[in-house]
Structure 1
Amino acid sequence: MDITDIVVQEFVEVDADERLGKVRSLFESKNPKGIIVMEDGEYAGVIGESELVKSRIEHDTKASVLMKSAPRIDERENIREVARLLTEGDVRIAPVYAGEKLVGIITTDAILNAVLDNLDVLDVEQVYSGDPLTITDQSRIGQAINRLREHGVSRLPVTDGNGKLTGVLTTHDIVDFVVRDQNRQEKGDRSGDIDRMLDLPVYNLTTSPVLTTTPSESVKDAVKRMLENDIAGLIVTPDDAETVLGVMTKTDIMRALTFTEESQMDVQITNVDLIDTISRGEITDSITQVVDKYKQMDVHHAHVRFHEHKEKLRGTPLIQCQIRLRTSHGQVAGSGEGYGADHAFHVALDKLERNVLEMKGINADEKYRGQLLRKLGEL
């Protein structure tokens, strides 16, 4: 299945030199699914809703400051390849072209709606990301912001002192509060000072009750709930919904769409532009060498995610790397930080190998993979 029938027309074009104040105004008045940024008549990048909402950059700043690079998509491209391109680019929208003509955009939601019926072969257990970052309801907002920024995530499950799930805190919750606070200050009310906001307990901004899912729920039903409630993720809990097992996001589902039946391990890299002194081939070979030490474990899919921090050492940025494997023995991950992608990757690889050694008692699950691939083969 190609994407011809799911191209979205609700988008606007802006020039790279356009003021963000005008861009925000267009977004509010036209309610587009995304914004395409042009420079000298050529495609330059995209601005998604999340980037626009999160940004507190001054209105007079140029749109080019906020835009993200996203791949040009051919209108006849295969839907699975588009899912891979969006996931690797860490974007939710991309422009769609017929030759040299811009005909629309493709979005994560459009893809998930198109494949929804095919997701009934998957359970949440087979897709979600475990070992989640959490924060307690008594932690400070400043701590939550740092955790969100440092780990490049958009949501944190919130727990009480006993580890019981009490809600969720998202970047949208924080931005919404900051914007309202800023508006009060502009009107002369200094009671909403930013420093005071950062010291507030997390429970002040927590969304509760939180929408959850369980490992046994079908991905189809879980995604349908996300789309209906216009949210990007669900907290994964046991049936009692009291503790946190993990998080399932739309990106996790998009990643599942990229699985292949090739004999070579399928490796996907998010923020691939950050790799400098290490190549994609070297990353694949290094992971393969670790996996080959444990012949009883087959790896179906590997996801490597790089995230750049602002800190630098002699010009080299501090990079966080997370490696997550989906294997015949379940999911296993390793993460680490280092100056430069090469250093960060090898720190994460060492942690991954230690975690592989600790895996116990998880049964192989080839059946679901075959079902999914047969379903996706029909697309």
Structure 2
Amino acid sequence: MDIADIATREFVEVDANKRLGKVRSIFERENPKGIIVTEDDDYTGVITQKQLVQSHVEDNAKAGAMTRSAPKVERTDDVREVARVLVEGGVKLAPVFEAGELWGIVTEDDILDAVLDNLDALSVEDIYTRDVITVSEDTNVGQVVNLLRKHGISRLPVLGDDDGLTGMVTRHDIVDVVVRDMNKTTRGDRSGEIERVLDMPVYDVMSSPVETAKLGDSVEDAVARMLENDFAGLVVTPEDDDTHVAGILTKTDVLRALTYTEEEHMDVQITNIKLLDTISRADIRSDIETVADKYGAMQVQHAHVRFHEHKEKLRGTPLIQCQIRLRTNKGQAAGSGEGYGAETAFNVALDKLERNVLELKGVQADEEYRGQLLRKLGEL
């Protein structure tokens, strides 16, 4: 399936110097799928409606302040390749070009809606993310902010006294509370008010109840619910338990499954590939294969490496967090680490990954996920 069958021309092009107030009014008036930002007629990035809704940047700011980089795709690109581009770019939409000219856009939701009927053969258990970070109801907002920043994530499930799921807190929930309270105070009071907000228990800002999916649910049903309700993901619970967290299923997990191939070499996906500096995709694949080859019985079927940039810098080099997650014939393994520059962060994460791989010894082999998913999905 080519992306030409999915892409849409429901977008608006604006100059990077246009005021955000005008951009917001465009969404209200024309309801486009996204906005393409240009400067001197050259493409610079995108703005989505969700970005604007979840942002409290003032209307007088320029559109360029809200613009996010998004990689270009061609109208003739395969849907699997475009899914990979979105996953590796850490973005929800991409501009579509034809013969060097901007033609339209394609969104994450457009792709998922187009392939929805192909997802009925997959179960949530096939592709969901395990090892989800959680917090308790009495965790304060400041600690939540640190966890979101440290792990480069946007949401955390909240657990009650019995470790049962009671809510979900997102970055947007926290921003809403901070901005709402700041608007009620004078400039001189704001420092104390911020400290008060950071000391609040997450129970006071979380959303409840939480939408969940069972391990045995079909991915088609789960994605249909996400699309219908504009959910980014669903908390996954065991078959016989509605409250304990088994993991999470996100739209990105589904896109990632669409990108699996049956190539001979290990399939590697890198989110935020633009952060690579002194290390290449080939280096990353080679280093992961070196770890895998140390344990002859373990075969890596899929590797996902995610980089996240923090604002902190050392002599101009940004602090980077790296997360590595492997799906192997012995189960899943993961490792994470931080360092100044992508290569340093990757090496720290790789060292932790190797230690965690040792724990896979003796674990009953999983199904051969990649080939299984391809057979289930068929040709798209």
**Same-fold status (TM-score > 0.5):** yes
> After superposition, where does 1:79-94 map in structure 2 within 5 Å?
79-94=79-94
CA deviations 1:330-357 (Å, max 9, x no partner) are 2211111112111111111111111111
CA deviations 1:181-205 (Å, max 9, x no partner) are 455559xx99x94443332221122
Q: Which AA in structure 1 matches 2:217?
A: E
Q: How far apart are residue 306 of structure 1 and its match?
A: 0.6
Q: Return the alpha-carbon distance in structure 1 between the equivalents of residues 131 and 14 of structure 2.
A: 40
Q: How far apart are residue 221 of structure 1 and its match?
A: 1.6
Q: Structure 1 residues 334 and 193, CA, compared in 2 at 3 Å: closer, same or farther?
A: same
Q: Hey, what does 1:311 align to over in structure 2?
A: 312
Q: Return the alpha-carbon distance in structure 1 between the equivalents of residues 194 and 53 of structure 2.
A: 18
Tell me if structure 2 keeps the 8 A contact 1:53–1:175. no
Q: How far apart are residue 20 of structure 1 and its match?
A: 1.9
Tell me if structure 2 keeps the 8 A contact 1:259–1:300. no
Q: Hey, what does 1:355 align to over in structure 2?
A: 356
Q: Return the alpha-carbon distance in structure 2 between the equivalents of residues 295 and 55 of structure 1.
A: 49
Q: Hey, what does 1:133 align to over in structure 2?
A: 133
Q: Hey, what does 1:210 align to over in structure 2?
A: 210
Q: How far apart are residue 218 of structure 1 and its match?
A: 1.8
Secondary structure at the aligned position of 1:130 is classed as: coil
Q: Hey, what does 2:117 align to over in structure 1?
A: 117
Q: Return the alpha-carbon distance in structure 1 between the equivalents of residues 72 and 328 of structure 2.
A: 32
Q: Hey, what does 2:70 align to over in structure 1?
A: 70
Q: Which AA in structure 2 matches 1:137?
A: E
Q: Hey, what does 1:165 align to over in structure 2?
A: 165
**Percent of matched pairs sharing the same residue:** 62
Q: Which AA in structure 1 matches 2:133?
A: L
Does 284-293 or 203-212 show the bigger shift?
203-212
> After superposition, where does 1:221-260 map in structure 2 within 5 Å?
221-239=221-239, 240-260=241-261
Secondary structure at the aligned position of 2:262 is classed as: coil
Secondary structure at the aligned position of 1:142 is classed as: helix
Q: How far apart are residue 36 of structure 1 and its match?
A: 0.7
Q: Return the alpha-carbon distance in structure 2 between the equivalents of residues 122 and 293 of structure 1.
A: 32
Secondary structure at the aligned position of 1:269 is classed as: strand
Long gaps (5+) in structure 2: none
Q: How far apart are residue 50 of structure 1 and its match?
A: 3.6
Q: Hey, what does 2:3 align to over in structure 1?
A: 3
Does 237-246 or 339-348 show the bigger shift?
237-246
Q: Hey, what does 1:30 align to over in structure 2?
A: 30
CA deviations 1:5-24 (Å, max 9, x no partner) are 22133322110111222222
Q: Return the alpha-carbon distance in structure 2 between the equivalents of residues 120 and 61 of structure 1.
A: 45
Q: Return the alpha-carbon distance in structure 2 between the equivalents of residues 181 and 24 of structure 1.
A: 23
Q: Which AA in structure 1 matches 2:228?
A: E
Q: Hey, what does 2:15 align to over in structure 1?
A: 15
Q: Hey, what does 2:367 align to over in structure 1?
A: 365
Please give the TM-score of this superposition, normalised by the length of structure 1.
Answer: 0.93
Secondary structure at the aligned position of 1:261 is classed as: coil
Q: Hey, what does 2:334 align to over in structure 1?
A: 333
Q: Which AA in structure 2 matches 1:173?
A: D
Secondary structure at the aligned position of 1:318 is classed as: strand
Q: Return the alpha-carbon distance in structure 2 between the equivalents of residues 59 and 277 of structure 1.
A: 38
Please give the TM-score of this superposition, normalised by the length of structure 2.
Answer: 0.92
Long gaps (5+) in structure 1: none
Please, what is the CA RMSD of the aligned residues?
Answer: 2.3
Does 54-63 or 69-78 show the bigger shift?
54-63
Q: Return the alpha-carbon distance in structure 1 between the equivalents of residues 123 and 302 of structure 2.
A: 17
Q: Hey, what does 1:98 align to over in structure 2?
A: 98
Tell me if structure 2 keeps the 8 A contact 1:53–1:172. no
Q: Return the alpha-carbon distance in structure 1 between the equivalents of residues 311 and 135 of structure 2.
A: 23
